[in-house]
Amino acid sequence: MVAALPGSPEAPLLLREDRDGVASLTLNRGAARNALSLALMETLQGALDAIGADPGVRVVVLKGAGPAFCAGHDLKEMRSDRDHEAIDAIFKACSRTMIAIIRLPQPVIAQVHGVATAAGCQLVATCDLAVASADARFATPGVDIGLFCSTPMVALSRAVPRKAALEMLLLGEPIGAAEAQRIGLVNRVVPGDELEAATFALARAIAEKPRRVVALGKAAFARQGELGLEEAYAYAAGVMARNMMMEEATEGIDAFLQKRAPRWPA
């Protein structure tokens, strides 16, 4: 079932579909190449908050309607108001949305077709995993219009090697899906007609893992990356000790030793 999430009745900004533990969120501004208006970002933020509190959702897929995944910020909206506070509010809303994706208990997979540029590329870099169609293109072209992609830089520099990130940021030139996979911006590249099925198959494979353990692991992955080496090991050791006390670990280890499939708690 596809549900329209708040927006205008004629054109809901975001669609949600739940199937087999996977919540698919579709940016629904196809005519604007899913440009991130303030209203769309606030709607997406609300959907993420609801999903984070929903134990029935194991994985989230983020995709775009129409010819593109996401073309970045809505420049017409930004250009219509030169007030510094209004512009600042837009970028702060975007940052909150990106952080919400990272902090979400469930893994988030970007399903990318067409273009993912500027803040759209930031979305891809922020998501935990990404599957792209073979003809997808990625770019941070702000430098070409006098607006350096400084906020996309935060996500991009954490997803790909330093020099690859800087080349994208300084040149603004698009890269193809194969190159995006080579530098680590996306995990898998598939033919366009296989994109939906391939993304859902990946999501379902993750959804079958123990929910609380996946949430614990995702949070730990993000946190250890913010620490120095010794602090990261101390933190990770504590996480593993707590994990070992969970019923999922007891069940999983018993199943392994007994050579049977584990029966994970809900």
Residue-wise pLDDT for 123-170, tens only, equals 999 999 999 999 999 999 999 999 999 999 999 999 999 999 999 999
Q: What is the pLDDT of residue 262?
A: 97
User: Which residue pairs, CB below 8 angstroms and at least 24 apart, start in 124-127?
Assistant: 124/69, 124/185, 124/186, 125/152, 125/155, 125/156, 125/158, 125/159, 125/160, 125/185, 126/98, 126/101, 126/102, 126/155, 126/159, 127/62, 127/101
Residues of the chain falling short of pLDDT 70: 1-10
Backbone phi and psi for residue 100, each to the nearest 5 degrees, phi listed first: -60, -40
Q: What stretch of H or E contains 23?
A: strand 22-27
Task: Output the CA angle 175-100-233, nearest 5 degrees.
Answer: 85
pLDDT of residue 10: 65
- Rounded CA-CA distance 222/216 in Å is 10
- Token representation of residue 113: 């077709």
Q: What is the pLDDT of residue 111?
A: 98
pTM of the model: 0.95
Picking from 110, 109, 40, the residue whose alpha carbon sits closest to that of residue 74 is 40
Output the pLDDT for position 78.
Answer: 87
pLDDT reported for residue 60:
98
pLDDT reported for residue 8: 47
